[in-house]
Structure formats: structure tokens, C-alpha cells
Structure 1
Amino acid sequence: MEFFNKVGKVALGSRLRLMTAVITDDAAKIYESYGMNFMPKWFPVFYTLMQEREITITEIANEIGHSQPSVSKIVQEMIVAGLVEDNQKSNDKRRNIVGLTTQGKEFSEELKLQLKDVEAAVDNLITESSHNLWAALEEWEFLLEQKSLFKRVNEEKKKRESQDVQIVNFEPQYLEAFKSLNVEWISTYFEMEEADYKALDNPQEYILDKGGKILVALYHNEPVGVCALIKMNNPTYDFEMAKMAVSPKAQGKNIGFLLGQAIVNSARDQGASKIYLESNTILKPAINLYNKLGFQKVFGLATPYKRCNIQMELVIK
């Protein structure tokens, strides 16, 4: 179709809905041609009931992947049509069992013949086509279950927006941003501590003059993220990654990961073998970020921060 050729893959949902509408319309015509008073939307529920076993509306919903209210509505419609009955006898009186009526069972035998014809027609369609749509649908369902289209689009959005992010070295003009961005997130979750003020008020003396580094993330030339690499006097660790902060208005643009990568690369360039960091487990996005960068949980170092309840290290390869 010209519209879909013009719009392309971004109209995937619209094209699938149109195909569904065409097939559903044909399904209604097929039932009518076989003299069956049956609605296409009833089929998954009715087919499940054809297995002749005790089953509840909730169990049907779970089995066919529909919502419980949707299945309940379809069951009520089929009850009116005389195909289904509920409140059947069961060994467990707490379960509201539904099943086919005598009329429904007779109808199911007619339906089995129609299904043979439908399956043969679909097989012929698959043979005529260059691609097996049925197999492709199974594969797509599996892939979307692993990672939804929503998540995939968000990842592409992050990737595109991250191209507008620049990671630059600290300069005096970024002093206020370095402090304000850190104060903002620390004050949101915890309280500012003495060690925070030392680093944020005097980064030149506390971080840079001791062999450390501060990187700044610019988005459209505005400082929206910062992170520091602090030289450690420790036989195990060369540097500490600290004071990472990203403005809330710039989150979702992969800035934290870009800063973390740049800090790790900077430590590697200086010959570091291990980087250390401290955090708190309530900061789940941050912990996920550190895991993504390759940090692993460790124990044992003394910390100047009350808020620290997790310590992590990265072995640089």
C-alpha cells in the first residue's frame, strides 16, 4: 500500500491492525459461509473450552493471554448464545467452572471440520509466500517478550540524544555546576556531610591538585552532569570514582554512562589497575549503571560517609 510504503516501519502497529481487521472480517464471513452463528473474538475462549476439562474464567485468561474481564465478557456473550454455561458442579466449590452446553458441544464438532479447511488454506498461503509469517510471529513474540518495543525505542532515543553530549575536562567556569548538581541529588536522598563540602567547595585542592580529575557533561553546551576521579592513598586502589551527578532534566540521555566510561578511560590512561566507589543501594539506577560499567561489590574499606552501604570496585583490563 502506498501509505505504508511512504511511512515505512514506524507504522508497524497500524499495518498489523489493518491486517488484523482484514483477517477478522474474513473470519466472520467464513463462519457465516459455514452457517455458524459465531463471532471471531469468541474463538480462543471457545477453543479452550472444547478441551472438555474443568476450568475457570481466570484460568482461561491466563492460558490465552487475555484479561480476566475480557474473557468474562466473552463467556457471558456465549452464554446468551447458548454455547456455554457457568456455575457447573465441581469438587472445589470455590471455583466457578465454565464449560460447553450440549449445543456448544454439537457446535464444536462442526467447528472442527471448518478448522481443517482454515488450516489447509493458511498452509497454502504460507507455501505461496516468500516468508513464513506464522514462524516470524512466533520469533517476534519471543523477542518482544525479552525486550519490549517501548524499551527498544527508549534505547534508540538515548543513543540519538547522547550524540549531542560532550564530555569535557573541568574548568573554573564549571565550579558552580559541579557543586549544585551534587548538592541537588545528595539533598534529595540524604544529608550533606563534611566530606561532601570538602570536595565540592575546594575541588582544585581536594581533587585536582592531588592527581585526580573532574569531567563535565555538556548537553547543548549546558553543564548537566559531572563526575570525579579522586586519587587514593591505598595499596589496592588507584582511584575512587565519586561525585557523579546528572541533572534531573537531562536524565534518560545516557549521560551517566558516558561520564562513567570517560572516567574509567581516564583512569586507564593513567595506568590504574583498580577503581573504587561508594554508594547506597536505594539508588537503584546508579547501582545498575555501575554494574553496567563492570563494577563488582566488595567489602572492608573505612568510609567517611554515613550514607554509604555498598562499596564496589572495577578491575581495569
Structure 2
Amino acid sequence: MEFYNKVGKMALGSRLRRLSEKLTEQAAEVYGMYGIDMNPKWFPVFYALAEGEDKSIMQIAQEISHSHPSVSTIVKEMVKHGIAQEVPNKADARKNYIRLTDKGREINSRIQVQYADVNAAVETALNETQYNIWKAIEEWEFLLEQKSLFNRVKDEKKARESADVRVVDYTPKYQPAFKRLNEEWITKHFKMEETDYKSLDHPDDYILSKGGHIFIALYNGEPVGTCALIKMDNNMYELAKMAVSPTAKGKGIGFILGQACIAKAKELGADKLYLESNTILKPAINLYHKLGFKKITGAPSPYERCNIQMTLDI
């Protein structure tokens, strides 16, 4: 127990596996006490077949929530021990169904008293505990169905790394990074256009001097993302030149930059934000929706790669 106390809750899976192994070992002793010749790991499959209906391996796997390969292995072991047998499927001769043999049905008849005693013993044990593990397992199964452990850890990782992201105002020293980050994603999916070169090579002339703004996202002091606000007419700004380095994906940098731009647009007195994108950039489109942008049909874009326009009322 010292190991689990030291490691803590991140060893939950290992500790549950240890408990499962202990219960399986003790279950084998119980089967022996009742003279039942059966491996404890066969029980779910055996129980599924005990109703008397022929079932396919896929049906059994779905019923007991096991994988197809796992059920297939157990069935082979049960067949080898004479407890189960394969029978032709009348509807499709190419497929076999599984049923209990005479030996299996005889075991099912004798095992009923064991079921009653085991159920009573487990109920007694549950009543002796402060926390009902059966209900707790049901809760955990529900929680993990709603959101997997992988996604939960992924979110924690993202939150931790996002806390180390710092958004700063553009200065001339960031011009190479501003161009590199944008050129990186544009050339991956499309081709650089004349307007790209103008804004990326001369951001002071094309964006800043016209009332716009540029943000740079730093992670551990390195520029890994950028986004710009370009002044348009009628108190409207364009959200443009958003780019995040592939090496910094999954840290929420795009969302952080988007929020910074929205806050800056409000500060500059904007009524609306506008953007242009392409629907093949699914992560980007999802991000814009998350930020509150909605699709519109606007004026023709100067960019060949643009096939969607969106706006956000501020």
C-alpha cells in the first residue's frame, strides 16, 4: 500500500487492477469450494450463455461490454474445457454460434447456490464499508463515458500550458516571427498572395499606421502565435493574420489571441469584427465559432483562398 499512498490518485488504474486481481484469485477459491470447474474470467461469457440462447461472439461481446478478441479467447478456452461449443448458424452456414454443452448446463444448475452465497457475501461486505464501491464504479463508468480520461488529462495539460502563454504587443523585433508564423500555415494549405507579402513584410505601413494592432503570443519567451486587427470602415476591424506554430498546438493559444483581439477591438471602439477564412481549416472555423463569430455573405474578398466570411458583434 505504501506505493499507492506515495504515487497517489494517478495510480488509480493500477490500484483497480490490483484489486481486480485479488478478487479474481479469491473467486477461484470460491469456485473450488463449490466444486465448480470454471475459471473466474469466464464468468461473464458463461452467464450470457446460461439463459440457453445461442449467441454469436459479437452478441456476447456487446452484451457484456468486452472486446470481440477478449470474448473470442474466452470462448476458445471454454470450448477446450468442454463447457461451451460452436454450432452452425441456421441462417448463415458461414457463421457459428456459441452455446453451453451438457457439462456447461450441469454447471449452471449447480452454480445457483454459489450465486446466492456470493451475492449475500458481497452485500455484507458493502454494508461494512463507508463508501459503496459498486455505486462508485457506476459513477466512474458514467463519467468516463461522458468524457474519457484521455480528454480529461488533455484539458488539464492545455490549462497548465495556457497559463504559461503571454500575449504582448507587436514591436519591430517580432516582424520575422510575424511573417514566419503566417507564411508557415499559408504555404501548407494554399499559396502566398500579393496582399500577404504587403502585410507581412510591412506590418507598420499596412496595419499599424492605419489604426490596427498586432499581438504576439509567447510561450517560454518564444513567439509561437500571432493575430492582427486591421482597421476597416464604420467602426469595424478585421481579425486577420492569426497563426499558431504547429509546435505549440493544443495550448489554447488561438483562443487566447482571439480573446485578446476582441478585448482590444472593444478598447478601440469597434462595433463589429470581421474575418475571412477557408472551410478546409476546420480547427480555425471551430475556434471562430467558439469565439462567437457567425457566418455571413459579404463583399468579394481580395484573397483567392477565402471561401467563408464571418462577423462578431461587439
TM range, smaller chain: over 0.9
Distance in 2 separating the partners of 1:140 and 1:298: 43
- What is the deviation of 1:93? 3.2
Distance in 2 separating the partners of 1:287 and 1:111: 59
**Conserved? CA contact 1:90–1:97, under 8 Å:** no
Structure-2 change in CA distance of 1:58 and 1:171 (3 Å)? same
- What is the deviation of 1:131? 1.3
- Look up the SS of the partner of 1:71 in the other structure: helix
Partner of 1:171: 171
Range with bigger deviation, 98-107 or 280-289: 280-289
Cα RMSD of the aligned pairs, angstroms, is 1.6
Distance in 2 separating the partners of 1:225 and 1:89: 60
The runs of 5 or more residues in structure 2 that have no matched partner are none
Matched, 1:266 2:260: no
TM-score by length of 2: 0.95
Range with bigger deviation, 116-125 or 163-172: 116-125
1:22-101 paired onto structure 2 within 5 Å: 22-101=22-101
- What is the deviation of 1:190? 0.8
Partner of 1:251: 249
- Look up the SS of the partner of 1:55 in the other structure: coil
- What is the deviation of 1:309? 2.0
- What is the deviation of 1:269? 2.1
Percent sequence identity is: 57
**What is the letter of the counterpart of residue 294 of structure 1?**
G
Partner of 1:217: 217
- Look up the SS of the partner of 2:210 in the other structure: coil
Partner of 2:285: 287
- What is the deviation of 1:195? 1.9
**Conserved? CA contact 1:88–1:99, under 8 Å:** no
1:147-186 paired onto structure 2 within 5 Å: 147-186=147-186
Range with bigger deviation, 176-185 or 200-209: 200-209
Deviations 1:210-240 (A, max 9, x none): 211100001121111100111122x5x7111
Distance in 1 separating the partners of 2:124 and 2:108: 24
Report how many aligned residue pairs link the two structures.
Answer: 314
Range with bigger deviation, 299-308 or 213-222: 299-308
- Look up the SS of the partner of 1:278 in the other structure: strand
- What is the deviation of 1:21? 1.0
Range with bigger deviation, 200-209 or 92-101: 92-101
Distance in 1 separating the partners of 2:61 and 2:4: 34
Structure-2 change in CA distance of 1:170 and 1:124 (3 Å)? same
**What is the letter of the counterpart of residue 252 of structure 1?**
G
**What is the letter of the counterpart of residue 254 of structure 1?**
G
Distance in 1 separating the partners of 2:184 and 2:104: 66
TM-score by length of 1: 0.94
Deviations 1:260-299 (A, max 9, x none): 1111111122232321212122222212222222222222
- What is the deviation of 1:94? 4.4
The runs of 5 or more residues in structure 1 that have no matched partner are none
